Structure 1
Amino acid sequence: MAPGYALALAFSVALLVTTDAGNPGLVARITQKGLDYARQQGIIVLKQKLSTLHLPDYSGSYDVGVLGNVDYDINSMVVTDLQLPSSEVTLLPNVGLKLTVSGAYIEIHGKWRVHYLFISSHGDFELKVLGISISVGLSLGSDGSGRPTISTADCSAHISDMQVHFSGGLDWLINLFDDTIASSLRDNLQKQICPLVADAIQNQLEPVLRTLPVTSNIDDVAAIDYSLTGPPIVTAENLDVQLKGEFFERSHRSPPPFSPLPLSIPDDHSLMVYFAVSEYLFNTAGFVYQSAGKLIFNVTDDMIPKDFPVRLNTSSFGKMIPQISKMYPDMLMKLKISSPSAPSLAMKPGNVTISPLLDIQAYAILPNSSLAPLFLLNLSTDAVAKLGVNSSRIVGHLELSSITIALERSDVGPFPVQILSFAVNYYISHILLPEVNDILKNGYPLPLLDHIQLSNLMLKLNEHYLLLGADVQYE
């Protein structure tokens, strides 16, 4: 891991967004506005599916009274137009969703043939299927991997009217029993609608939901668990999807020694979706990297800009602490920076602060490449995070507020620690912090389905959590 990368991740968790009985680390709320947009996209899929309606050829015989029986064939039927002009999706508390379609119509073109005694005739016909209504109950849940599921709970379809117009040949003859033909076609169509709806949900909508990233790998050390903690929670106003929202170590997962606080999302319905991201998610990152021993890195002289007057060698430090150059003349030095405890951030309305504790152990590098300890510093730091968001990631920038230095131990005799303040502040502000911010500007992914982009973004800091609101676009 590059110097500063692990610490950058510990800082940058302040800029992010399995089943558990406790509170989630992240909640995604879909409003009615968001459901209406999803309905529009779903209607496109449903229209495509219903356009595949198949009406098989069939034949029969009809008694036309004094004329006797007329044999007929109906064939080559294809859908030429299909419209779903009115639809609505509503929330069913504790169940899921209800999709209703009304006023739909279908136009079908086909061919006919009749045979009566020694007379045969044929022609075309146009069938208008009017007043189609569909009602579908959708059950929402989660599977064993923590992904959302959707299935058809119930479905009904009704056709209110059929209009058929025969043309060509002896059309007057087949028009004698056009109502019988229309009734047969109606029964056939009504039986096909719900199976096609169920197929569209299972084979086209369900695979989209399965693109939710249950696990998002960050690096070779950590990943984020975005799995659902249970089925979505449906109320009369909102659809809430509760996610684990937790960093974990990829090679060895252990639960963090703290739990997420309850999340209370404000009742705002002006945007399609809202993400409430608990500070718990952010703080589990610090726990993971601390537990994995990754919040340790080294600073050497070749990392110091050429124009900085305080070099990492005993000659330069000897000007501030004479005993260093006397004990270890003309030697390079190394600083080992580590975090003795997992860094933890705090979110409050208007700002995010993080105050990691750092230890700086200074060494002289001996001619045989072994290390001689010089002194150990304890640093208390305060930083403020500037947050931002783009179409799929949360990004940010850290600004260091203060550094307080204390001398924990000296192996070269006592010295006033204040003389190191300039050098330490420079190393942290000009070497470590830029590395952190280079990582932060790339951001971290939100748990979004494939082909989803966010727009009209809103970001607000609340007590213990970050609230992100956005409209959604499916591309």
Structure 2
Amino acid sequence: MAQVCRLALLLMLLLPVVGASVPGTVVRLNKAVLSYVSEVGKAPLQRALQVTVPHFLDRSGGGLQPTRVQILDVQVPRLHLNFIDGFGIRLLAAANFTVKVFRAPEPLELILPMVLLADARVAQGSIGTPVVSISSCFQLFSKAIVLDDSDSTPPALLVLVQQHIKAVLHNKLCLSISNLVQGLNVHLGTLIGLKPVGPESQIRYFMINAPNITKNYISLDINAVLFLLGKPVVLPVNATPFVLPEHVGTNGAMATVGLSQDLFDSTLLLLQKAGAFNLDITGQLKSDDNLLNTSVLGQLIPEVARQFPEHMPVVLKVRLGGTPVVTLRTNNATLQLQPSLEVLAAASNSAFHSLFSLNMTVNLSLQLSVSKAKLQGTTSVMGDVQLTVASSNVGSIETDKVQALIDTVFEKPLLDHLNALLGIGVALPNVVNLHYVTPEVFVHEGYVVISSRLFYQR
């Protein structure tokens, strides 16, 4: 409990720091998810209904005789969930209790059918997670079915036994349902857990207002806090909230997740601040086709040949000073990088000397996919890499002469680096052990939609 309180305090301190920014996400859980929850929820519900029944005081023998009563089994053949507009979820379950009464001379076994109806309110918790609470709970019992088909049990006794069991279940079942929901809330609390974005960066999601609940779905407005080296990153202010249009995604999807332009911009800013886009490109010195050396460069720039008459290795230092720009258009996502590239050559004393530097513009096609609970990306270069000379220690440089060489030695290492980085993936809003299954990704003007089934891994 103390740890939970400390976490809540920490979050309350952190959220106002980034509250002005809106890296918005909308998670819409549709009717199809209720059918799935109904199936996977039967087993936990059956366990929750397996309560302890105290001894029954049997008076049939002329005195009070404590008789042991045990619920042998609970089966839930039907569990149905519905959204309640503006409120939460309604649960309707049919359950059969197999009960054994250990009375002499023969034990009595019976099945007691029951219908359970409960309404659960879904609200926003104090630390930005969904919170479910039972607001009403009712039980309707049917007449018990005796299993041994014997007439040895007096009808009056059977009535008393049923009354005893029903009274106990009436007091305990709704409490068991509430306890089950409390366990669910603990699980929903993992929504706010830190999830990796890159080697030194993380993301944490949190709800920003009460959920919007209709008869067809429950929709959660979610923002993200981005962390670099454990510290929250203050993002540019954007006062425009993200609104997910009503009819997007695929019919029958359990979850429809909308990711705004702000989320992409903020995540790329975080990776840029972390230096994740930077890389050094070196050639394989023992390779016969290594082009990163002063001899090859000297054929294009005479001053390089004059300063380095011996064959020396060359290193390309790629640094990204500006924030990458992602553009989302219908069925098309692109990424633009504007890195600087410094070309350095090794001298005879093993020190590296700067030859020249280039400003570059690289346009990339961005393909998005989802694996488990992460959004991943792969890139490919679109058109030619644009070059301009930023500085030179080797005299005049004709960019058209070095263009082909730069394209050859630069593009593949860049793509390998970017695809490895974007392949790590950005965690989508989710709770522990919940995965996205057969997701489809749709790119729209200014936002991305993911339509998916869900799978809970026990």
**Other structure's SS at 1:210 match:** helix
Moved more, 377-386 or 138-147: 138-147
Question: 1:283/1:312 Cα in 2 relative to 1: closer, same or farther (>3 Å)?
Answer: farther
Distance 1:415 1:454 in 2: 51
**Other structure's SS at 2:103 match:** strand
Residue number in structure 1 paired with 2:3: none
2:217 counterpart of 1:238:
yes
2:46 counterpart of 1:47:
yes
Question: 1:359/1:23 Cα in 2 relative to 1: closer, same or farther (>3 Å)?
Answer: closer
Contact kept? 2:197, 2:427, Cα under 8 Å: no
Residue number in structure 2 paired with 1:3: none
1:22 is displaced (CA, Å) by: 6.3
Distance 1:40 1:472 in 2: 13
Distance 1:392 1:245 in 2: 15
CA deviation string 1:310-363 (max 9, x = no partner): 3332x3222111122223443443322112311110111111101111111223
Distance 2:296 2:54 in 1: 92
Distance 1:415 1:329 in 2: 19
1:45 is displaced (CA, Å) by: 0.9
Question: 1:163/1:334 Cα in 2 relative to 1: closer, same or farther (>3 Å)?
Answer: closer
Distance 2:139 2:156 in 1: 28
Count residues with an aligned counterpart.
Answer: 436
**Other structure's SS at 1:59 match:** strand
1:418 is displaced (CA, Å) by: 1.1
Residue number in structure 2 paired with 1:264: 244
1:34-183 to 2 correspondence within 5 Å?
Answer: 34-50=33-49, 52-59=50-57, 61=59, 70-73=62-65, 75-102=67-94, 104-112=95-103, 122-130=105-113, 132-162=114-144, 171=152, 174-183=154-163
TM-score when normalising by structure 1: 0.82
Question: 1:296/1:175 Cα in 2 relative to 1: closer, same or farther (>3 Å)?
Answer: closer
- Unaligned residue ranges in structure 1 (runs of 5+): 1-17, 63-68, 114-121
1:171-320 to 2 correspondence within 5 Å?
Answer: 171=152, 174-203=154-183, 205-212=184-191, 214-245=193-224, 247-259=226-238, 262-267=242-247, 268-302=250-284, 306-308=288-290, 310-313=291-294, 315-320=295-300
Contact kept? 1:383, 1:399, Cα under 8 Å: yes
1:426 is displaced (CA, Å) by: 1.2
Question: 1:262/1:154 Cα in 2 relative to 1: closer, same or farther (>3 Å)?
Answer: same
**Other structure's SS at 2:436 match:** strand
Contact kept? 1:127, 1:163, Cα under 8 Å: yes
2:428 counterpart of 1:446:
yes
Question: 1:312/1:229 Cα in 2 relative to 1: closer, same or farther (>3 Å)?
Answer: farther
CA deviation string 1:48-93 (max 9, x = no partner): 221x22221132547xxxxxx9335352322234333333212223
Query: What is the letter of the counterpart of residue 351 of structure 1?
Result: N
Residue number in structure 2 paired with 1:385: 366
Pick the aligned partner of 2:314 from 326, 333, 340.
333
Contact kept? 2:90, 2:118, Cα under 8 Å: yes
Question: 1:233/1:296 Cα in 2 relative to 1: closer, same or farther (>3 Å)?
Answer: same
1:473 is displaced (CA, Å) by: 2.5
Question: 1:305/1:202 Cα in 2 relative to 1: closer, same or farther (>3 Å)?
Answer: farther
Question: 1:364/1:73 Cα in 2 relative to 1: closer, same or farther (>3 Å)?
Answer: same
Pick the aligned partner of 2:329 from 323, 331, 348.
348
Contact kept? 2:253, 2:452, Cα under 8 Å: yes
**Other structure's SS at 2:364 match:** strand
1:300 is displaced (CA, Å) by: 3.0
1:108 is displaced (CA, Å) by: 1.3
Moved more, 18-27 or 218-227: 18-27
Pick the aligned partner of 1:401 from 376, 382, 388.
382
Distance 1:388 1:305 in 2: 36
Supply the RMSD in Å over aligned alpha carbons. Answer: 3.0
Higher relative contact order (CA 8 A, sep 6+): 1
Moved more, 76-85 or 27-36: 76-85
Contact kept? 2:285, 2:313, Cα under 8 Å: no
CA deviation string 1:255-309 (max 9, x = no partner): 122537523244354111122122322222321233344543322344796414x
**Other structure's SS at 2:172 match:** helix
Distance 1:165 1:375 in 2: 91
TM-score when normalising by structure 2: 0.84
1:408 is displaced (CA, Å) by: 2.2
Query: What is the letter of the counterpart of residue 139 of structure 1?
Result: R
Higher CA-based Rg: 1
Pick the aligned partner of 1:376 from 343, 357, 360.
357
State, as a whole percentage, how many aligned pairs show the same letter. Answer: 19
Contact kept? 1:107, 1:129, Cα under 8 Å: yes
Contact kept? 2:198, 2:271, Cα under 8 Å: no
Residue number in structure 1 paired with 2:5: none
